[in-house]
Amino acid sequence: MSRLAEDRIGAIIIFGPPGAGKGTQARRIAARCGIPQVSTGDMIRDEMHRETELGRKAQNKIAAGKLIGDELVNALATARLAQPDCERGFLLDGYPRTAGQVGHVDRLLQSLGHRTTVIEIQIGYNELIRRITGRRLCPKCGAIFNIHSQPPAISDVCDVCHARLVVRTDDRAEVIGERLRAYEEETRPIFEVFRNKGEMIHAVQGEEAEEVVFETIFGLLDRI
Ligand SMILES: [Zn+2]
Q: Nearest-CA neighbor of 75 among 50, 53, 94, 51? A: 53
CB 46 within 8 A of CB 211: no
Class of domain 3-35+88-223: alpha beta
CB 56 within 8 A of CB 46: no
* pTM, entire model: 0.84
Q: What is the pLDDT of residues 165-219, one digit of tens each?
A: 999 887 887 788 888 888 899 889 999 988 998 889 999 999 998 999 999 999 9
Q: From ligand 1's centre to the CA of 169, what distance in Å?
A: 17
d(CA 35, CA 42): 14
**Choosing from 28, 131, 135, 136, which is the catalytic residue?**
135
Neighbours of ion ligand 1 (CB under 5 A): 138, 140-141, 143, 158, 160-161, 163
Catalytic residue flag (residue 164):
no
Cα separation of the two ends of the chain: 8
Write the pLDDT tens digit of every residue in 2-46: 666 667 899 999 999 988 989 899 999 999 999 999 998 888 888
| Amino acid at the residue 211 | E
Q: Among the options 45, 168, 172, 195, which is catalytic?
A: 168
> Catalytic site residue 140?
no
